[in-house]
């Protein structure tokens, strides 16, 4: 069994700073977490210190992400602040919505739109999120990649729609939008 060490990361953006408690297997694991946290908060820099510190809700979120402590079937309800019924947190003198923070931590494209699929407004489980390219999109980016792969193999739009459990017009729209984004007009 690996030992767990306690660290504190001081994340800075402009002149604002926040201290977060993290646990890690070793210094390189702590540094990797600190980099992920810094990217998530779109901060400028971080400093890492060894020792036990009191965690806050943001620290707890990042720890769950670092150790992938989410179950596919269960909702993980946010127990802190909400803005317009959306889980949020205040850090570095700014309000952050929790789901996009998770997106940044996991290094998923920031231009993705995060929609909760379990219909539990408090749920922040990354497995219950769909990452969409467009606000009103009915399929996520993973489903879009599947549709593109199927289409490249000559599978009909109707068959793709049946597999993804959406209407064929949704697939036509998604493929059209993808071609417009990539500039590919030959398909």
pLDDT the model gives residue 117: 80
Same domain (yes/no): 20, 60: yes
pTM of the entire structure? 0.72
Same domain (yes/no): 86, 178: no
Instruction: Classify the C-alpha dihedral 116-118-121-124 as positive or negative.
Output: negative
Q: Is residue 19 predicted with pLDDT exceeding 60?
A: yes
pLDDT per residue over 22-61, tens digit each?
A: 999 999 999 999 999 999 999 999 999 998 889 899 999 9
Question: What percent of the chain has pLDDT above 90?
Answer: 50
Q: The CATH number of the domain where 149 resides is what?
A: 1.10.10
pLDDT the model gives residue 187: 46
Domain holding 74, by residue range, is 5-132
Q: Mean pLDDT, to the nearest integer, of 74-101?
A: 94
CB contact at 8 A, 68 and 126 = no
């Amino acid at each position: 069994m690996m030992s767990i060490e306690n660290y504190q990361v001081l994340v800075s953006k402009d002149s604002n700073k926040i201290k977060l408690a993290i646990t890690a297997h070793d210094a390189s694991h702590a540094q990797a977490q600190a980099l992920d946290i810094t990217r998530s908060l779109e901060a400028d820099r971080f400093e890492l210190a060894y020792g036990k510190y009191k965690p806050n809700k943001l620290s707890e979120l990042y720890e769950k992400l670092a150790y992938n402590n989410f179950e596919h079937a269960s909702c993980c309800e946010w127990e802190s602040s909400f803005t317009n019924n959306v889980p949020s947190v205040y850090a570095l003198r700014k309000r952050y919505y929790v789901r996009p923070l998770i997106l940044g931590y996991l290094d998923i494209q920031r231009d993705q739109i995060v929609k909760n699929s379990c219909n539990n407004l408090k749920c922040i489980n990354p497995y219950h999120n769909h990452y969409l390219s467009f606000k009103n999109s009915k399929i996520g980016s993973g489903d879009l990649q599947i549709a593109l792969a199927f289409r490249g193999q000559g599978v009909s739009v109707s068959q793709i729609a049946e597999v993804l459990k959406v209407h064929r017009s949704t697939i036509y729209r998604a493929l059209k939008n993808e071609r417009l984004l990539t500039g590919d007009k030959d398909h």
